Chain A
Amino acid sequence: MRLLKFREIVLFLAPLLFTVFVIFYGIAWNFWLSLTSFSIYHPRYDFVGINTYLQLFNDYDFRNALVRTIAWAGLLVIGGNILGLIISTALFQIQSNRLKSVLTSYFIYPMAIPLVASGVIWRWLFESVKGFNAIFASVGLPKIDWLTGENAFWSLVGVSMWVYSGFVALLYLATFYHVPLSAIEAARVDGADTLTIMVKIVIPYSKLGFILGGVFSALFALQMFDLPYSVLYINPFTSTLVMYLYNKFVYMAFNISSAACIFLIALSASIAIPYSTYGLRKWILGVIR
């Protein structure tokens, strides 16, 4: 709708355009670096084109980190959204606003605590003298090797759900408040119980919540770094793409680090582009009528 002056739009968008420009400069820098040979193995800026990316895909550590990150994203999107939906639905039923606020804040607290500290606690919880296994042993339950081999991955995915589901619940709550009261009242008058109301009216109106929850869970998973790093350092079972690129930077394989970064962006763009151009606008606008 061209009812607005072009000048005003530019004014409002100026800060965003500036920051997007700066970040794209950063992306371009990484892209340029990924096309060179600059690393501790070859400390000269020779142009090598695709070579770096071939090296990247030849590296078992990279492929492992890629698979794990994608798996983590899938699991966190599904698990985080389910858990977030349950929590938000429950919170939505509370009458007292004050209690609602306090409880929402409570479910978000894991995200507010520095992961370096909660990482230590979880590591302690996962061992046998200090943690869950000690309790299991005292009541006769078998002990679980939480962090051995593949279990480490599942355990940390679980911890990440604890960290992020509260925020996902917050996003759902924000969207629940968009539902017109009239629709709910009408259903109540017709004698529907709360569960039916939630399932048939509130949740469908909250497709927005699914989008938000999905986008942000995926974002958290793709950027997963602090949690696995502070719990298990460079364990291959919990290795993620950001850890890979960070470590490669510190080990001075700069071109590989940049190539991994560009790949991560390309991967994320493949999620973002479909959302923004097709799914998001049309789906949302189609639903909120």
Chain B
Amino acid sequence: MTEKTATKKPNTALIVTAIIVILVIAIGAIYFLMRPTPPAGPKKMTFYTWWAGLERFAIDAVIGNFTKATGIQVEKTAVPGGAGVNAKYAIIALIMAGKPPEAYQVHCGPEMISYFMAAPHGKDDFVDLTDVATDIGLINTPAGQVCQLAGRLYSAPVNLHRANLIFMNKKILDKYGIKPPTTLDELTAACSKLKAAGVPCMVQAGADQFTVLHLWEQIFLAVAGPDKFIQFMYGTIDPNDPSIKQATDTFLTFVDTFPSDWMALDWTSAVDRVVKGNGAFHVDGDWAVGLIYNVYPGTKMCPIDSITPDCDIIVAPFPGTQGIYNMVIDAVGVPKGPNQDLGITFAKYFASKDGQKIFNPLKGSIADYPDLPTDIYPTNIQKWEVQQYASSKKQVFSLTHGALFSDVWSKLLSGAVLLAQTKQTSMWYSTVNDAIKLELSLWQQSGLYLGSPTSPFAGYLPPWAKK
């Protein structure tokens, strides 16, 4: 190549790049100008959620029906991340920047209180949905109660999950002659038998952390009972209460039976292990039912009170927590703003019987209304849960899934994983101690509590509420 040609080529590069850039900008400009709808018109709203992946069908069905019924378009931003952290990040940032979405997904209780904190005008930046909830008959259900803060409801519940469940692989139980455990002692005995035989007994997942704290929480519920559990949630429990130590000791005996690579598992892999027979038990919430139903259609799940020979997975309340419903509740919150009517309409629809009838069967949870027929649910487990819920004597609110303030929750979450890895109980007790103190100070600071003055949640009115 001559000098001349060499000089030419770099100039060609410049020209070509320039042409490309101009072309793309031109196309972009035309596209932008030609877009049919203006952003967020009068009948269009945004809903921020972390329901995506497998539960996408459930939320899409609700939105589809809502649009059909009201003509309001819903633009869903579904950004998951552990416990919806990315969605929460966006919601908080938008609230702080003064551009909140019309409606968003939220957990009742501390999470809602946290949003009051982040908003410039506190509670006044959010729509009070108490009247809406009364209209649709939600206010007197347990979920409606839990979602009230000192008598006012700011987040409308749309489902009801149960956290205190244990999933068992029936073939392994049969092979080793183990009867499905109903007490903690039976479960510990089963695990020592399986450990001796070289089978991973308890399969919990370390990579996404939840199921580790989740296990500790159910053990604590079994050992301490629902009343102390509620006190733990409010931070009014005595940090030296013996039930905490007892739960931790029992927890550690189960940790010894985790599969050796538990740190690399996420909860879906843990469920997979139990379904495939590579582990005996998994403690988790009923969202695992949805997973098994959708991903392993050939696997038959049976509730513990109706086991048949062809069952593959047995679903039971966690041993020692029978009669207690450990609730996990998702809800919809509506910030105040120019389009809040759209948000209110959406929240009302979603939380009403119509919305919940569509959402819950697909999601693997049950509706908050006890009087809905059970034939709307595809799995027999969901049908069983409706009975369990109706016959439950006590309800509590799951620590791992919404009952704790986020900072406290994250300390306990990673603390539990660290405890399981290192077995260092002193560090864990100090973490729990700090958690209880922090939780108490945050609740006290807010002056709020779950439920209403006349019927506080779980019949427990914390000390600062006596006004």
Contacts and interface: CB of A to CB of B under 8 A. Distances in A.
B95 to A, nearest CB: 11
A43 to B, nearest CB: 5
Interface in B418-460: 418, 421-422, 438, 441-442, 445
B413 interface: yes
Interface in A116-164: 123-124, 126-131, 133, 145-149, 152
A79 interface: no
Sort chain A's interface into a size bin.
20 to 34
A255 B85 CA distance: 19
B421 A251 contact: no
A234 B410 contact: yes
B406 interface: yes
Interface stretch (B258-266, B294-302, B303-311): B258-266
Contacts of A129: 261, 273, 278
B263 A247 contact: no
Given A128-B260, A234-B414, A147 B207 contact: yes
A128 B278 CA distance: 11
B88 A250 contact: yes
Interface in A206-244: 229, 231-236
B447 to A, nearest CB: 12
Contacts of B206: 147, 235
A128 B118 CA distance: 43
B92 A249 contact: yes
Contacts of B269: 124, 127, 130
Contact of A145 (B89, B261, B265, B445): B261
A90 B400 CA distance: 51
A41 interface: yes
B405 interface: yes
B405 A231 contact: no
Given A148-B263, A252-B92, A236 B441 contact: no
A252 B442 CA distance: 12
Contacts of B265: 127
Contact of B414 (A133, A146, A236, A252): A236
A250 B85 contact: yes
B121 to A, nearest CB: 11
Contacts of B441: 41
A40 B405 contact: yes
Interface in A28-61: 40-41, 43
B117 to A, nearest CB: 5
Contacts of A250: 85, 88-89, 92, 406
Contacts of A40: 114, 117-118, 405-407, 442
Q: Which of A130, A145, A251, A253 has the most CB of B within 10 A?
A: A251
Given A41-B442, A253-B407, A126 B209 contact: no
Contacts of A43: 117, 122
Nearest to A125: B264
A163 to B, nearest CB: 19
A246 interface: yes
Contact of A251 (B122, B410, B414, B445): B410
B114 A128 contact: no
Contacts of B82: 233-234
B422 to A, nearest CB: 8
Contacts of A249: 89, 92-93
A248 B88 CA distance: 12
20 contacts: A40-B406, A41-B438, A43-B122, A123-B207, A123-B266, A127-B269, A129-B261, A145-B261, A147-B206, A147-B207, A229-B81, A232-B207, A233-B207, A234-B82, A235-B206, A235-B207, A235-B209, A247-B410, A250-B85, A253-B407
Interface of A: 40-41, 43, 123-124, 126-131, 133, 145-149, 152, 229, 231-236, 246-254
Among all A-B residue pairs, the 7 with the closest Cβ atoms: A127-B264, A251-B406, A251-B407, A128-B261, A147-B264, A147-B263, A43-B117
